[in-house]
Structure 1
């Protein structure tokens, strides 16, 4: 009886040995296989975004970058509700330099906010520099041909939204093709910022004496 049992055991040892060898080889390969490359998760634009846009969650997506490719000041979280100081292309990593931030308000009094305003005349905005003081006016277009001067009508009177507010910055490329007007960032209080936001798209400015 022992001979058949010994023969059966011998037959089993060979496949078991092969399985053990295969398992050992697999473990060795797993140990030698390099792990996933290190990466840093940052926020990037999920679509083309214009200067002055208030960021929402749908405007941003997570992007994993290798550490050497992470730009200085890359933003990793907490960007929703912030305002872009310049335009962004889809897939571009978001950095602190792209945001209207507290650093722009250094030297201004308490309660001051950085309020973006898009001005219809981009040429006038290009004349501005930080520290200039401006009046911002809303001038709605005429309601119809009868309101045009010379037709017995007149233009609607311009409405002053804010007066004598300082320019903080004029973002680069703020009036690039495809955008309406040009962006300028002004130092205002909260009430003035709300008035600018509610004033509509047709805004103009006049430069006042410092």
Structure 2
């Protein structure tokens, strides 16, 4: 019986060694998995990113309440995203955005709308001569503003590269001739973001002559 004691001792110690080996193997596998997981799955800290705080329709003039900062892992953070809410406030959203969507530079009109921090631009309401043209416009479109020819005056370009800020949803109005006949229709008001030095001229001319736009 005594000669069996070493064998019993070896058998008695084997479960402990096996357990230690399995634990070491499990730790090694866990480390390998964590190494190859993306940063988002590992819970790695990201970069503060401006996202929409709620669902936003196209043409929204972004305010502080429309925005929030969240940490986005660098490996999934889109190019053109920003960490500064101040660089987004006062700008127009070109397309609709879902809540939590990162607001990149291509989703925003290039310049802030006047009254929201851009002293070199103004927003001018213009009622276009042709309702059909207004229907083609969307916030963010760039257009040239053209005064139509009339009464011996040639057509002239009043402003280039204006940005469509918003298109009104009112029904079209129709001009009435001197005998009550319909001479043509006018579209809804279109808000155009323009450099301040030409905004006054566009506003004044639109009251005197028919105005239209050409799309860039």
TM-score, with length taken from structure 2? 0.45
Q: Which structure has more RCO (C-alpha within 8 Å, separation ≥ 6)?
A: 1
Report the TM-score, using the length of structure 1 for normalisation. 0.46
